[in-house]
Structure 1
Amino acid sequence: MTTSSYDSFQKRRLQSSYVSVVVSISLVLFMIGVLGLVLLKSTRVANHFKEKVVMTLFLKDDVTKKQVTDLQKHIQKQGFTKRITYVTKEQAAKIYKRDLGEDFLKFLGDNPLKNGLDIYLKAEYVTPEKMTQIEKDFNKNNFVAEVNYDKPLVELLTKNIQRMSFWLLVLSGFFGLVAIILINSSIRLSIYSKRFNIKTMQMVGATKSFIRKPFIWQSIKLGLLGAVIAMICLGFLIYYVDKYIPTLALLKDYITLGYVAGGIIFVAFFITWISTFFATQRFLNLQTNDLYY
């Protein structure tokens, strides 16, 4: 084989190695992106349902409008309050009439309902423990006759969300491990083909950091290229999902998309850097005779 033919063969082999690394990284990062999207979106959906839970304060009949306004302002300033709505007994009667399909006031005569404040809490406060504590605090208020909320619903929401979060974290850990193994293996195979070059550079006096630097930089570039390809594929997937399931509003959720894109880039950078560092370190520490095995 002539020198030019050998160089051409080596060049094609190197390009093939680079392509396999980029493809491996792209596939793994695409899977991580999908999982990250599911994880973040499920959290936002869970928080959306949590913030629909209402805690109603039924007020005593002798509470004046000014006292109601002052109480409303006080509650609005609390860290757990998402929003608050004042519902008069007349408005409550209309709601009951609509839900029941008949006017119950005709049978009772007087309106037995009370004026109330509907409090919608922030998602992180919608747990059985925190809502029980908030209920106790409101029961001490002189203006409040009764505190009411759907306790079974809160317990069910909390239990199901915890279970879902646990399995999503387990799945994330599994895919994270798979990502590290696959990308690390691809990079190690790529560097393995250059092990003699590494040892030659070391033998002529090059320092370990000097030898590692171009390998790390090359791997990072391949990793970022894989990240770009993964994000393009993920973009097509998001587009079609948003087209057929518009209620998820994926394309308008810029925060979630930003987190996913940032996560993909970070994973691509970190794993390629750390994998290349240890792969080159391994060959730098080997004896010349060991390179043949």
Structure 2
Amino acid sequence: MAGKTRVVKRGKASYFMSILGVTLVLFLLGVIGWLVINTRTLGQHFKEEVEVNVYLRDPLAPADSTALVQYIASKSYIKEYVFTTKEMAKAKYLADGNESWEGILTENPLPQSIDFKLKSEFLTADTLKNIRLDLEKQTYVTEVKYPELLVGGLDSKIKIVNWVLLGVSLLLLLAAIVLIDNTIRLAMFSNRFTIKTMQMVGATRWFIAKPLDLRAILNGAISGGIAIIAVLLIIRSAKRMLPELEAIQDNTQLGLLFASMMLLGILITLVSTHTSVLKYLKKKLDDLY
């Protein structure tokens, strides 16, 4: 009875250590995955905040300005746009802290404009040059402006950060697979005599492996669930410090990340457990000491 109690306690301890080890690895993977998702989403957010200003000739008939707005609005690269009148331009000018020209000028010198933002996939230096060339050909357009230096450097920097994080993620994934596999194998080491004893009394491989495989699936699911909760707590803390993260959160990609964490925990735990069982079944009793 005492021997059986020691076996149970040893088994519970090994299961606890395997769950803890897998949870820690999955948690680290989840945090890195969240950073990768946020980097991509943040890059798209910055891209879609770049504004292009199309300045119009003055005076301009309402029908002509309407036709030009409709022309620009029909383009596939448009995310959102606004037609800025001379009065709106003046209000924006004063809101930026500039001094009023009243008493110096009798007329509003600011032009009307069509201001728009592009979809992130169109925000490249070459695409913007082509857009500017096209719009400047329009009869009522005097000038097309956008932050060229920002656009030129933004895309390359985002790509570099994405590649670095992707490389780190792949290395971490490889390390995670190895660490989880070693953790499970160490946990199964304490059950090697139980596995061999069951084989010696005539139990089939499936009969021996089934309860251990089911336990592995449960342990993997528990590890994945705990890791997901821990990552959610990290995300919540990050949002408290940086409320801007709420605006760029991609719930679809976050859901895929959590599903991948759960699947990875279950899959690696199950495969490592099953291969360990088969390894001990193939060994001779003397080799287990």
TM-score by length of 2: 0.82
User: What is the aligned partner in structure 1 of residue 162 from structure 2?
Assistant: 165
User: What is the aligned partner in structure 2 of residue 59 from structure 1?
Assistant: 56
Is the contact made by 2:82 and 2:115 (CA closer than 8 Å) also made in structure 1? yes
Please tell me the residue identity of whatever aligns with 1:11: V
**Cα distance in structure 2, aligned partners of 1:122 and 1:229:** 37
The 1:157–1:9 alpha-carbon spacing in structure 2 relative to 1, beyond 3 Å, is same
Written as runs of structure 1 = structure 2, the 5 A alignment for 1:205-220 is: 206=204, 212-220=209-217
> Counterpart of 1:48 in 2: which secondary structure?
helix
Question: Which stretch has the larger CA shift, 11-20 or 95-104?
Answer: 95-104
The 1:44–1:202 alpha-carbon spacing in structure 2 relative to 1, beyond 3 Å, is same
Is the contact made by 1:97 and 1:104 (CA closer than 8 Å) also made in structure 2? no
The 1:67–1:214 alpha-carbon spacing in structure 2 relative to 1, beyond 3 Å, is farther
Is the contact made by 2:41 and 2:250 (CA closer than 8 Å) also made in structure 1? no
Q: 1:73 aligns with which of 70, 74, 80?
A: 70
Deviations 1:22-60 (A, max 9, x none): 100111122122222222223333322222110112234
| Matched length | 288
Written as runs of structure 1 = structure 2, the 5 A alignment for 1:88-99 is: 88-99=85-96
Is the contact made by 2:196 and 2:285 (CA closer than 8 Å) also made in structure 1? no
The gaps in structure 2 that reach 5 residues or longer are none
User: What is the aligned partner in structure 2 of residue 191 from structure 1?
Assistant: 188
Is the contact made by 2:184 and 2:272 (CA closer than 8 Å) also made in structure 1? yes
The 1:200–1:78 alpha-carbon spacing in structure 2 relative to 1, beyond 3 Å, is farther
Is the contact made by 2:34 and 2:254 (CA closer than 8 Å) also made in structure 1? yes
The 1:143–1:101 alpha-carbon spacing in structure 2 relative to 1, beyond 3 Å, is closer
The 1:67–1:276 alpha-carbon spacing in structure 2 relative to 1, beyond 3 Å, is farther
Q: 2:79 aligns with which of 79, 82, 102?
A: 82
**Cα distance in structure 2, aligned partners of 1:81 and 1:290:** 73
The 1:146–1:283 alpha-carbon spacing in structure 2 relative to 1, beyond 3 Å, is farther
The gaps in structure 1 that reach 5 residues or longer are none
Shift of residue 205, structure 1, vs aligned partner: 7.3
**Cα distance in structure 1, aligned partners of 2:46 and 2:168:** 23
Shift of residue 169, structure 1, vs aligned partner: 1.5
Give the % identical residues. 31
**Cα distance in structure 1, aligned partners of 2:82 and 2:174:** 48
Is the contact made by 1:41 and 1:256 (CA closer than 8 Å) also made in structure 2? no
Shift of residue 269, structure 1, vs aligned partner: 2.4
User: What is the aligned partner in structure 2 of residue 41 from structure 1?
Assistant: 38
Shift of residue 264, structure 1, vs aligned partner: 2.2
> Counterpart of 2:76 in 1: which secondary structure?
coil
Deviations 1:115-154 (A, max 9, x none): 2111111222222233233333333444433221111011
TM-score by length of 1: 0.81
Is the contact made by 1:196 and 1:291 (CA closer than 8 Å) also made in structure 2? no
- Answering whether residue 114 of structure 2 is matched by residue 121 of structure 1, we say no
- Answering whether residue 284 of structure 2 is matched by residue 292 of structure 1, we say no
